Amino acid sequence: MRIAFVIGTAVATIKNEKLRGHKLLMVQNADPSGKVQGEPFIAVDTVDAGTGDLVVITEGSSARQTDLTTNIPVDAVIIAVIDSLEISGETTFRKE
Amino acid sequence: MRIAFVIGTAVATIKNEKLRGHKLLMVQNADPSGKVQGEPFIAVDTVDAGTGDLVVITEGSSARQTDLTTNIPVDAVIIAVIDSLEISGETTFRKE
Amino acid sequence: MRIAFVIGTAVATIKNEKLRGHKLLMVQNADPSGKVQGEPFIAVDTVDAGTGDLVVITEGSSARQTDLTTNIPVDAVIIAVIDSLEISGETTFRKE
Amino acid sequence: MRIAFVIGTAVATIKNEKLRGHKLLMVQNADPSGKVQGEPFIAVDTVDAGTGDLVVITEGSSARQTDLTTNIPVDAVIIAVIDSLEISGETTFRKE
Amino acid sequence: MRIAFVIGTAVATIKNEKLRGHKLLMVQNADPSGKVQGEPFIAVDTVDAGTGDLVVITEGSSARQTDLTTNIPVDAVIIAVIDSLEISGETTFRKE
C-alpha cells in the first residue's frame, strides 16, 4: 500500500451515482519522513482523514473491500491514518 | 483515481462488439492546476464528458463497476467531471 | 486503455495450453501521432490486427472479458483497431 | 512478485477494522544483492518477517489469496522470506 | 504480457504454504533482441522454463488462471518460452 499525504479535496457535481456521498481527497505519495513527491491522485476516504494526514492507501480491486466501497467504481481508498513510521529503530514520522 | 484532462477522441470501426456504442476518449494526466503531462491513453466515458473537461478516471477491474461497463473489456473509465480542486485552502483549478 | 502500435509477432512452442490458437503480437506504446515509444510487450489479438496497425489495448483482469480470452492467463488484449485520433479538432492520426 | 527489503514498521490507530491485528511493515524494493532502491511502501506480513529480511511481495488481488488476508482491503502482502538468490550460478544474496 | 529473461532462482524456506512445490524464478525485462533491462522480479514457473530462456510473463489476477496457480497468492507467472521474435519481417531473437 502506498504511503501518501492528504493535500486537498476534489469537488465534482457530475459523477457516477455510486460515488454520491463519498469524499474525494487529493493525495500525493510521501517519503518515510512525510515529504510529498510525485503526481497527485484521488482516493476515496473511509477513515475520516483530513488535509495534512499521512495515510495508507489501498489500490486496485482491494479498494472495493471496505464496507463503504463494495461494488463502487473506485481504485484507491484511504484505509488508515498513520500515527508514526519507524525505520531501523528510529522514528522518521510522528503525527502532530 | 487519476486526475486527467480530456484531449480528444479515438475512432475505431473494427472493435470488440461489447464496445459498440461506447465513446472512446483520449485523456492525459493533469497536475493540480489542470496542466497536462505524460502519455495520452484511452478511457470510456460514462458521464458525458467532453474535450476540455478535467475528469476523474478509475482503472483496472473497478472500471467495470459502472452500469455502462459491466463485463466489458475496458480498463479505464471516466467517472466524474471535476468542478474544482482545492489544495491547502487554495483553489488550484475551477471549471470555466 | 493504452494506444499501441503492432510491431511484430512472438512464436512460442512451449506454452500454457490455454494459449493454443491465440496470436501473440508484439506491441509498443504510441504517442497521438502514432510514433512508438517505450518498451515492447505482448498482447493477444482478438480483432485480427496486423503489423502496422495502431490499436487499443486493455490490460489486467479486463483483458479476460472478451469471448476469446475468458479464463485465460493473459493480461493484455487488443480490443480495437484505430481508424483515427483527433485532438482539439485536429486529426493527429489516420489509418492508411 | 517484487523482491523487497523490510525496513521498518507503520503504526496506525485509526484504520479500517479489517486491518486490526495485522502487522503493517514498511518495505522497499531491493536489487539482486539486497540493496534497497526506490520508494518505500507498506505490505501486510503473513510469514513473521522482520526488519532486515529480504522478502517476496505479492500485489493486487493476489494479495488477498492468503488465509490471513481474504476479503481484506490490502494490495501488498509478504508471502516469503528469501534465504538466497542465485544468478547464473552465482549466489548474489544469502540471509545471515 | 512482459517479455522477460530468466536470470536465476530464489530459495525461500519460510513461505506461504500455497507456494510449496512452486519454482520461484528471477526474471528481468528484455528488449526485442533479448537484452535485459530494468529491475529483476520473481515469477512462478508453469512451463519448465530455465535460466537463459526468454519467456512471456502474465501478471495480476490473470497469473492465477493457470491450473498450477489457481487461488495462490502470486502475481506473476511464466506462461510461455519464446522461440523467436519477429519485428517488421526481421527476426530479432531466436532461441539457441
ipTM: 0.94
Is pLDDT of C5 > 90? yes
Is pLDDT of E41 > 90? yes
Chain E CB within 8 Å of residue C73 CB:
yes
Which of E41, E42, E73 is facing D66, going by the closest CB pair? E73
pLDDT band at C60 (very low <50, low <70, confident <90, very high): very high
Measured between CA atoms, the residue of chain A closest to residue D12 is A82
Chain C CB within 8 Å of residue E33 CB:
no
Chain A CB within 8 Å of residue D82 CB:
no
pLDDT score, position D47: 97
3-class secondary-structure state, position D64: helix
Per the prediction, chain B carries an average pLDDT of 95
Structural domain boundaries in chain B: 2-94
Chain B CB within 8 Å of residue C32 CB:
yes
Q: Please say whether the structural domain B2-94 has been given the CATH code 3.40.50.170.
A: no
Answer for the pair A31, A53: CB distance below 8 angstroms, yes or no.
no
Cα A17 off chain centre by: 21
CA-to-CA distance for E84 and E21, rounded, in angstroms? 30
Answer for the pair E89, C41: CB distance below 8 angstroms, yes or no.
no
CA-to-CA distance for D59 and D77, rounded, in angstroms? 7
Chain D CB within 8 Å of residue A58 CB:
yes
- Least Cα distance to E30 among C39, C74, D2 occurs for C39
Angle ∠(A45,A70,A5) on CA atoms, nearest 5: 20
Per the prediction, chain C carries an average pLDDT of 95
pLDDT band at C31 (very low <50, low <70, confident <90, very high): confident
Chain C CB within 8 Å of residue B50 CB:
no
Neighbouring residues of D32: CB distance < 8 A, sequence distance ≥ 6: D3, D85, D87, D92, D93, E7, E8, E26, E40
pLDDT one-digit tens code per residue, B59-77: 999 999 999 999 999 999 9
Percent of chain E at pLDDT above 90?
86
CA-to-CA distance for A96 and B18, rounded, in angstroms? 51
pLDDT score, position D35: 83
pLDDT band at E31 (very low <50, low <70, confident <90, very high): confident
Is pLDDT of A32 > 90? no
Answer for the pair E86, C16: CB distance below 8 angstroms, yes or no.
no
Chain B CB within 8 Å of residue A39 CB:
yes
pLDDT band at B34 (very low <50, low <70, confident <90, very high): confident
Is pLDDT of C34 > 80? no
Q: Distance from D88 to chain A by nearest Cα, in Å?
A: 32
Which of E8, E60, E61 is facing D85, going by the closest CB pair? E8
* Cell 501486510, located at residue: D44
**B chain contacts of residue A36, beta-carbon cutoff 8 Å:** none
CB pair distance less than 8 Å for C79 and B61: no
CB pairs under 8 A between A and D: 102
**E chain contacts of residue C24, beta-carbon cutoff 8 Å:** 1, 56, 80
Mutation site for A-interface testing, chosen from B79, B81, B84, B95 by largest number of A Cβ within 10 Å: B79
**A chain contacts of residue D8, beta-carbon cutoff 8 Å:** 32, 85-88, 92
Chain D CB within 8 Å of residue A44 CB:
no
User: pTM here?
Assistant: 0.95
Which of C63, C72, C73 is facing E77, going by the closest CB pair? C73
Chain C CB within 8 Å of residue B72 CB:
yes
CB pair distance less than 8 Å for B82 and A11: yes
Chain E CB within 8 Å of residue C50 CB:
no
pLDDT score, position D41: 96
CA-to-CA distance for B6 and E93, rounded, in angstroms? 39
Neighbouring residues of A36: CB distance < 8 A, sequence distance ≥ 6: A5, A7, A28, A29, A30
Answer for the pair C61, C74: CB distance below 8 angstroms, yes or no.
no
E-strand ranges in C1-96 read 2-11, 14-15, 24-29, 41-45, 54-59, 76-81, 84-87, 90-94
**CB neighbours of residue B6 within 10 Å:** 22
Measured between CA atoms, the residue of chain B closest to residue A28 is B32
CB pair distance less than 8 Å for B1 and A26: no
Is pLDDT of D39 > 90? no
CB pair distance less than 8 Å for B16 and C85: no
Chain A CB within 8 Å of residue B77 CB:
yes
pLDDT score, position D52: 94
Q: Distance from C88 to chain E by nearest Cα, in Å?
A: 32
Is pLDDT of E91 > 90? yes
Measured between CA atoms, the residue of chain B closest to residue C80 is B15
pLDDT one-digit tens code per residue, A37-96: 888 999 999 999 999 999 999 999 999 999 999 999 999 999 999 999 999 889 999 998
Which of C7, C13, C63 is facing E62, going by the closest CB pair? C63
Chain B CB within 8 Å of residue C31 CB:
yes
Answer for the pair A91, A58: CB distance below 8 angstroms, yes or no.
no
| E57-85: average pLDDT | 97
Which of D1, D48, D62 is facing E41, going by the closest CB pair? D1
CA-to-CA distance for A70 and D65, rounded, in angstroms? 18
